[in-house]
Amino acid sequence: MKIEGLKKWFPVRRGIAQLWSRRQEYVHAVDGLSFDVKKGKIFGLVGESGCGKTTTGRLIGRLIEPTDGNVYFEGQDIFSLKKAELKRIRRKIQMIFQDPYDYLSPRLTVFDIISEPLLIHKIARSKAEKEKLVEEVLESVRLNPKQNMYKRPHELSGGERQRVAIGRSLVLRPTAIVADEPVSMLDVSVRSGVLNLMLDLNRDYDLTMIFITHDISVSRYMCDRAAIMYLGQIKEVGLIENIVNEPLHPYAQALIAVVPTMDPTQKRYQAAIEGKVPSPIKPPGGCRFHPRCHKAMEICCKEDPRLVEVKSGHYVACHLYR
C-alpha cells in the first residue's frame, strides 16, 4: 500500500457572523500525507486526539473521498475505481472501528453481524455454508461458536464485542486491515488479549495492518514501522524501535518522555509542551508545531519543513535536520 500527498479538508458550516463573507473556511484534517506499508507488516499512525489519524484510516478504506492525493493498493489507485471494482477491492481492505459498544447493531445476533459481509458479496448461499464460515471465524478470534453464535451484543463483554468486530473484518479473508484504536475503549485487563490476538492474526493470515493509536507504547508492542502525526501532517516516520529509542522530532521526544520506564539508564527527553493545539481551521504558518516547540528557530515560523532521511529509513520533518 502506498499513500501519496493525501489531503482531506472539511468545509466549515457558516454561522450568522460569516453569512456575508465570501471566504469558505476548511478544517485541514489531513494535509499532505505520504508513506508506504509493506505486505504483511503492521504500520502505526501515532498522535494525539484531533491530529487526523482516524480521517486517514477512513480515507484509506475509501469511506470518505479525499480533497487531493492518491492511495495505491496492489498497484491500483482506489480513488479512481468505479463501483464494481471498488466492491472487489473492499473485500481485501477491511476496517476495525474504535467503539464496539456503538457500531454493533443491538438487534442482530453474532451470526447475523459476521455473516452480513458474506451476504453483501454473495460468497455463501446457504445457511449451512454461512454457519461453517462463521464458526471458523469465531474460533480464529477465540470465541466459542456454540456459546456465542446466537448471542446479541448486549450479552457480550467489551472484549468479546471487539473480537466479534475483528471476526466480521476477517470473514471475507482480506489482505489488509485498518484498525482504528481497537483497544482504547476496552478495560486494561482485556487489552493485551486483543492485541495478542491481532498479532497472531497478522502472522497466521499474513495480514497487512494500519494500526491507529494515541499510545506510543502500544504502537511499540504492535508495529514494525510508525509515523508520528501532528495537526494533519507526519513529523517523523521510521522503524518503531528507532523512533522510541532515538526520537528526532521535538514532538516525538515529548511523546516518548511521558511514557513511564523502569530502566534508569534510558535517555530522558524534555516533556514540556507549552500552549494548546492550534486550530486546524487556521493552522500556523511554517512548521505547525513551532508555537509549542522549545527548540523553535526563526525559520520554523516561515518555512514548512519536508521529510528528510536522517538515518537509513528514518525520516523527520524538522529544520534542526536540514
Please tell me which residue, 39 or 260, carries the higher pLDDT value.
39
What domains are defined for the chain?
Answer: 2-92+174-321 (3.40.50.300)
Judge whether 207 and 177 are in contact, CB under 8 Å.
yes
39 half-sphere exposure, CB direction, 13 A CA radius: 9
Q: Which of 142-146, 222-226, 272-276 has the least mean pLDDT?
A: 272-276
Is the per-residue pLDDT at 284 higher than 70? yes
Question: What is the Rg, in whole angstroms, of the alpha carbon atoms belonging to the chain?
Answer: 21
CB atoms within 10 A of CB 314: 18
pLDDT recorded at residue 16 = 62
Interatomic CA distance for residues 230 and 51, integer angstroms: 5
- Give the tens place of pLDDT for each residue, 48-80: 888 999 999 999 999 999 999 999 998 899 999
Judge whether residue 307 has pLDDT over 90: yes
- Write down the pLDDT at residue 261: 72
Cα 170 to its chain centre, rounded Å, is 17
- The mean pLDDT value for 156-179 works out to 93
Residue 257 binned pLDDT confidence (cut-offs 50, 70, 90): confident
Q: What is the pTM of this model?
A: 0.90
Do β-strands 76-77 and 68-73 pair in parallel, antiparallel, or remain unpaired? antiparallel
Q: Does position 112 have pLDDT exceeding 70, yes or no? A: yes
28-51 pLDDT, tens per residue? 999 999 999 999 999 999 998 889
